[in-house]
Amino acid sequence: MSAGRFAPSPSADLHIGNLRTAILAWLFARASGRRFLIRVDDLDDRTHTDIAHRQLDDLARIGLTWDEPPQWQTAHPGRYDNAVAQLADRGLLYECYCSRKDIAQAPRAPHAPQGAYPGTCRDLTDAERETRRAETGRPPALRLRTETVEYTVRDVLHGEYTGIVDDFVVRRGDGVAAYNLAVVVDDAEQDIDQVVRGDDLLPSSPRQAYLARLLGRREPTYAHVALVLNEDGARLAKRDGAITLAEIGVQRALTLIADSLGWQADNVDEMLAQFDPARLPREPWIFSP
Task: Fill in the DSSP letter of residue 241.
Answer: S
Q: How many CB atoms lie within 10 A of CB 31?
A: 14
Per-residue pLDDT of the chain (289 residues; tens, 9 = 90+): 899 999 999 999 999 999 999 999 999 999 999 999 999 999 988 889 999 999 999 999 999 999 999 999 999 999 999 999 999 999 999 999 998 888 888 877 666 677 789 999 999 999 999 999 999 998 999 999 999 999 999 999 999 999 999 999 999 999 999 999 999 999 999 999 999 999 999 999 999 999 999 999 999 999 999 999 999 888 888 777 789 999 999 999 999 999 999 999 999 999 999 999 999 999 999 998 7
Query: DSSP alpha helices (H): ranges in 96-173?
Result: 100-105, 126-136
Shared domain check, 160 and 121: yes
Residue 80 lies in a domain: no
pLDDT at 263: 96
- List of residues 6+ apart from 47 with CB closer than 8 A: 9, 10, 11, 41
pLDDT at 170: 98
pLDDT at 129: 94
Single-letter amino acid, residue 111: H
Q: Where does a domain end: 206, 225, 244? A: 225
pLDDT at 111: 61
Shared domain check, 205 and 185: yes
pLDDT at 109: 61
Q: How many CB atoms lie within 10 A of CB 285?
A: 18
pLDDT at 236: 87
Beta strands 141-144 and 35-40: pairing type? unpaired
- Angle between helix 77-89 and helix 179-189 axes, rounded to 10 deg: 110
pLDDT at 212: 98
Residue 248 lies in a domain: yes
pLDDT at 47: 87
Shared domain check, 203 and 96: yes
Structural domain containing residue 14? 1-75+226-289
Question: Total domain count for the chain?
Answer: 2
Shared domain check, 9 and 33: yes
- Angle between helix 250-260 and helix 16-31 axes, rounded to 10 deg: 70
Tell me how far apart the terminal alpha carbons of the chain are, to the nearest angstrom: 40
Residue 129 lies in a domain: yes
